[in-house]
Amino acid sequence: MEQLMRDFFLFLSKNKTLTKLAKRYGLRFGASRFVAGETIERAVDVIKELNRKGLAVTIDYLGEFVDNEQEANEMANHSIEAIRAIGENKLNSQLSLKMTSMGLDISDELVMKNMRRILDEAKAHGVFVTIDMEDYSRCQKTIDIFKQLKKEYDNVGTVLQAYLYRTEKDIEDLNAYHPNLRLVKGAYKESPEVAFPDKKDVDENFKKIIKMHLLNGNYTAVATHDDAIIEYTKQLVKEHNIPNDQFEFQMLYGIRPERQEQLVREGYTMRVYVPYGTDWYGYFMRRLAERPANVAFVLKGILKK
């Protein structure tokens, strides 16, 4: 049943008609729990509140299905606007982005031009930028572009997904770049030919890549809501005397806020992934696919209206 529900919401996440409707009708039906608003001004207010609680942030202007140059340039402009807002408001925040929003599927020239524009602005404001990993078909291209950008900029990192068989090799391969990596389980529907189908195997691989990356001496963001993975990381760093400034935990805005604040009280860096913007629908559907409890929360919200 849970797998059926997951597949259903992942299917809905790719529906362009529903995406358009969601844009038109705004952040209703519970999405505002997971999305910080549709404008940068609203997002800044949310970040200030999170910072006040001791939480660090990474902000992401949501956008999917970008298929022309003008839209890609506009998406890059939104990222630049967010960077300036971080600098001007002295926020404890980084920036996350998806390269498909910057023109990855249109041309190499376009995506590199937009990425360099963003990273130049980010460098000027002291903002770190993480390139989100998307589905498997774009994985190699994302890594290739990251390697190129890492030769030119210090303020860029990327994401690797524990559910892919290839990830252990990617950790080894990227070690030469001393990368700052966010490690995640992975949220896209992938074939068993490229990804572990069983949660148990994904969890084991997640632990393996966390250990590899930390013991390689690289900065590691462990992005999880899973207490078993959090506890594993705490024990690992204790065992190997890894300082707290070599890693951080990351969670999504609106999911387990009490746990987020608890980790801050325990002395860990805890970063919240805060998405905003009008194109929130696909992101929201993937959150519902990940955790059935989120669906119950949203249904309650709808029924109250």
Distance CA 48, CA 206 (A): 32
| Res 152: pLDDT | 98
28 in catalytic set: no
Is 100 known to sit in a ligand binding site?
no
Residue scoring higher pLDDT (188 or 41): 41
3-state secondary structure of 231: helix
Give me the chain's average pLDDT, please. Answer: 89
Name the domain count of the chain.
1
- Comparing 63-72, 88-97, 239-248, 262-271, the range with the smallest average pLDDT is 63-72
In a domain, 29, yes or no: no
Output the pLDDT for position 287.
73
Task: Report how far residue 253's alpha carbon sits from residue 59's, in angstroms, rounded to the nearest whole number.
Answer: 10
Rounded-to-integer distance, Cα 293 and Cα 42, Å: 26
Which two structure tokens, joined as six digits, stand for 170?
Answer: 């990617």
Whether 170 is catalytic is no
Q: Which two tokens stand for residue 137?
A: 């078909």
pLDDT digits (tens, 9 = 90+) for 173-184: 999 999 999 999
Give the model's confidence band at 16: pLDDT under 50 very low, under 70 low, under 90 confident, else very high.
low
Distance CA 244, CA 242 (A): 7
What's the whole-number mean pLDDT along residues 240-252?
97
List Cα–Cα distances, 12 to 63, 105, 285, in angstroms. 16, 21, 7
Report d(CA 173, CA 99) in Å as an integer: 21
Say whether pLDDT at 250 is over 60: yes
Question: Any known ligand binding at 224?
Answer: yes
Angstrom CA distances, 273 to 24, 60, 251, stand at 24, 7, 6
Tokens representing 51 are 């910072």
CA distances for 170 relative to 133, 158, 209, 284, angstroms: 13, 12, 10, 29
What is the per-residue pLDDT for 54?
98
- Please write the tens of the pLDDT for every residue from 136-158: 999 999 999 999 999 999 999 99
Query: What is the pTM for the complete model shown?
Result: 0.89
Please write the tens of the pLDDT for every residue from 264-275: 999 999 999 999
**Sign of the dihedral defined by the CA atoms of residues 64, 271, 198, 7, in that order:** negative
* pLDDT confidence band for 1 (50 / 70 / 90): low
Give the structural domain span for 235: 35-275
CB of 200 closer than 8 Å to CB of 176: no
Q: Is residue 189 part of a domain?
A: yes
> Which CATH number goes with the domain that contains 75?
3.20.20.220
Q: Which residue in 182, 203, 271, 279 is the catalytic one? A: 182
Over range 285-289, report the average pLDDT: 72
Task: Please tell me whether 148 is known to bind a ligand.
Answer: no
- Residues 9, 30: Cα–Cα separation, whole Å: 15
Which pLDDT belongs to residue 88?
Answer: 98
Specify the amino acid at residue 127: V
DSSP character for 164?
B
CB atoms within 10 A of CB 267: 8
225 known member of a binding site: yes
User: What's the pLDDT score for residue 63?
Assistant: 79
Confidence of residue 27 (pLDDT cuts 50, 70, 90): low
Q: Does 42 show up as a binding residue in the annotation?
A: no
Which one, of 241, 175, 244, lies nearest residue 209 by Cα?
A: 175
The answer on pLDDT for 276 being more than 50 is: yes
CA distance 305 to 286: 23
Domain-located, residue 248: yes
Give the per-residue pLDDT at 303.
42
Options 60, 132, 170, 279, the catalytic residue: 132
**For the residues 155-174, what does the mean pLDDT come to?**
98
d(CA 224, CA 147): 25
CA dist., res. 275 & res. 268, Å (int): 22
Residue 304 lies in a domain: no
Q: Is residue 57 part of a domain?
A: yes
Domain membership of residue 305 (yes or no) is no
**Residue 282: predicted pLDDT:** 73
User: Does 259 belong to an annotated binding site?
Assistant: no
Is 186 within any annotated ligand binding site?
yes
Residue 195 lies in a domain: yes
What is the pLDDT averaged over residues 111-139? Answer: 97
To the question of whether residue 199 is assigned a binding role by annotation, the answer is yes
Using pLDDT thresholds of 50, 70 and 90, give the confidence band for residue 22. Answer: low
Higher pLDDT, 240 or 281: 240
Residue 25 lies in a domain: no
User: 262 among the known binding-site residues?
Assistant: no
pLDDT of residue 302: 41
